[in-house]
Structure 1
Amino acid sequence: MFKKLLLSLLLAGSFMLVACGENEEGTSSDDTDTDGLTIATSFSVLGDIISQIIGEHGTVDYIVPIGEEPHEYEPVPSDFQKVTDADVFYINGLDLEEWLEKIVSNVSDTDIVEVSDGVTPIPLVGDDEADPHAWLSPKNVMTYVDNIVEDLVERDPDGESIYRENAEAYKSELEELDAWIEEQVADIPEQQRVIIVSENAFKYFGEDYGFDTEGVWEINSHEEGTPQQVNRIIDIVEERELPAVFVETTVDKRYMETVSENTGVPIAGEVYTDAVGPEGSGAETYIGMMRENVNVFVEGLKN
């Protein structure tokens, strides 16, 4: 009932903003001239990936603030203005932004493009729905890059050489990241290659780099954190004799703190899943956040 009421209010506010053609500062969107394309996307991880490709040949803005997670983010009217003013709205897909996508499609004619097209989905445990966290494997982000660059070229043929050059350079960095991850995780004994967090978000990473993954719950939009779920994780930690568990920057830490308290196994550190890190964190970019994640995993699990 609350979501239906919120949806009605958001739609009403969004229509008013679009009709007035004003941004948050109250200036007309027609008064802003920007070279190249204006891109909107759903969350900060995609914002960084797209920025690497578009470079200075356009602008990129994302909706979900750093520190929040996109599964159930409740947008405000100004978010819809960002999408309405954009040439395209890029989303992850795999049902990550399902609610947001439905609202946006009702208030804006901006094209919505899923950048995960072509990724082989991994299903959620006990559910036919796909796990959306494909970006947590650099191998999949290379597919994202291919999809983004082809769409950009179609929308802006004059920028083709820039987009393709930037995309190739970025894919080289992703290949280097992929090789670096393989090298780093080799230090972790095979029996200790288990990533346990609150949301079981590292399935794609685990499949590509040889880790089992577990979470208190499968996905934040299904978040429960019941005693039974927490106890299941406690049993896994004790049975596998794991040296560490982890917490996410965008998820309530109390559940993993309970696991740690009941097993005596330390929380080795924070990892980034649904957002890049703030300035000064070392995780301000997608590549930076993945390096930080791997460093935390290796430090926690190699002992």
Structure 2
Amino acid sequence: MFKLKALIVSLSFLVLASLTLIGCSSEEATSPGEEAEGLTIITSFSVLDDIIKNVIGDRGTVSYIIPIGEEPHEYEPVPSDYRKVSEADVFYVNGLDLEEWLEKVVSNVSDTEIVTLSDGVTPIPLVGDDEADPHAWLNPKNVITYVENLVADLVARDPGGEDIYRANAEAYIQELEELDTWIREQVAIIPEQQRVIIVSENAFKYFGEEYGFHTDGIWEINSLEEGTPQQFARLAEVIKDRNVPAVFVETTVDTRYMETVSKEAGVTIAGEVYTDAVGKEGSGAETFIKMIKHNVNVFVDGLK
């Protein structure tokens, strides 16, 4: 489990969460004869929210728990989060242990079914650990698997919406395949020996494996975040040994860690990339596809 501390702290909310659910259920109950249209879906973080919305369209509502800018590995739920899950028809999660602590806490206050969207993705282990890296969504080819799992579950829950779900999924998969083609064209601009992605959290393994990049980071995953002098020195040596022209920072990680590494290694920080959340309104990275395009443009500009 990545964030044991989060699980322990979250358990302290259980009584309060239960009281919140009981106190509010009668307040917002559907009036007699008034039936909500479509499925009510809750998911863990903004990337999944966008993927799901592309498939469900107008036949239901989707919301997510972890705010943009917060770390999925470290987020500590509040009572209103439990309420959202309890009122939903289904709780979609990434899996690969990303939300393991959240799933366990939520299951204590809600019987809403939890469905994993990454089933079928070949996991890449964390360096020096048997646990899987959870960032499978950073490879658009994996997101096609997410969409296929999503459609299968939506159709089972709402057979009447099958035609809508399948048509939306087909259109979105076409966009993902076009994105994959575009990425390969852009990556070809970068000299092969310079295809190295260095960020604070080594989150681009799935992307790197698919598109031919070596990846590294100060730490493997943010729940193990340390930022020690030894970690800085090791990564600075990697950068020097491989003649990496630039490094990058993430929107959800304090930039001071990578600033230290860049100074030690004598390279610039070429830009900011998105990993655990889409961008805020006006960022140009408000959707999954837009955030991936942003990342690729930053990589190309920094490494070519």
| TM band (smaller chain) | over 0.9
* 2:108 match: secondary structure: helix
Distance in 1 between residues matched to 2:10 and 2:202, nearest whole Å: 29
* 2:18 counterpart of 1:15: yes
Matches of residues 1-303 of structure 1 in structure 2 within 5 Å? 6-22=9-25, 27-30=27-30, 34-302=36-304
Please tell me whether the aligned partners of residues 247 and 269 of structure 2 are also in contact (alpha carbons under 8 angstroms): yes
Aligned CA distance change for structure 1 residues 244 and 105 (closer, same or farther; 3 Å): same
Instruction: Structure 1 unaligned segments of length 5 or more: list them.
Output: none
Q: 5+ residue gaps in structure 2?
A: none
Aligned partners of 2:283 and 2:226: how far apart in 1?
29
Verify the 8 A CA contact 2:6 2:75 in the aligned structure 1. no
Where 1:290 maps in the other structure, the secondary structure is helix
Return the alpha-carbon distance in structure 2 between the equivalents of residues 3 and 274 of structure 1: 17
For the aligned residues, what is the CA RMSD?
A: 1.5
Percentage of matched positions with identical amino acids: 70
8 Å CA contact 2:6–2:74 kept in 1: the answer is: no
1:104-140 deviation per Cα after TM superposition (whole angstroms, max 9, x unaligned) = 0111000000000000000000101000000000000
Residues 293 and 33 of structure 1, relative CA distance in 2, 3 Å threshold = farther
Q: Deviations over 1:23-44 (max 9, x none)?
A: xxx9514359532000000000
- Which residue identity lines up with residue 22 of structure 2 in the other structure? A
Distance (Å, rounded) in 1 between the aligned partners of 2:69 and 2:141: 25
1:2 Cα deviation from its structure 2 partner: 6.7
Label 1:246 to 1:3 Cα distance change in 2 as closer, same or farther (>3 A).
closer
Judged with a 3 Å threshold, the aligned counterparts in structure 2 of structure 1 residues 17 and 294 are, in CA distance, closer, same or farther, namely same
3-state secondary structure, aligned to 1:107: coil
TM-score by length of 2: 0.95
How far apart are the structure 1 equivalents of 2:276 and 2:143? Answer: 14
- Aligned AA (1:189): P
Q: Give TM-score scaled by structure 1 length.
A: 0.96
Q: Which amino acid aligns with 2:28?
A: S
Distance 1:126 1:253 in 2: 25
Structure 2 residue identity aligned to 1:116: S
Structure-2 change in CA distance of 1:212 and 1:254 (3 Å): same
Tell me the CA shift for residue 72 of structure 1: 1.6
Contact 2:98 2:134 in 1 (8 A): yes
- Asked if the contact 1:34–1:58 (Cα under 8 Å) also holds between the matched residues in 2, the reply is no
Q: Answer with 46-55 or 221-230: which moved more.
A: 221-230
Give the SS at the match of 1:21: helix
**Which amino acid is the alignment partner of residue 47 of structure 2?**
V
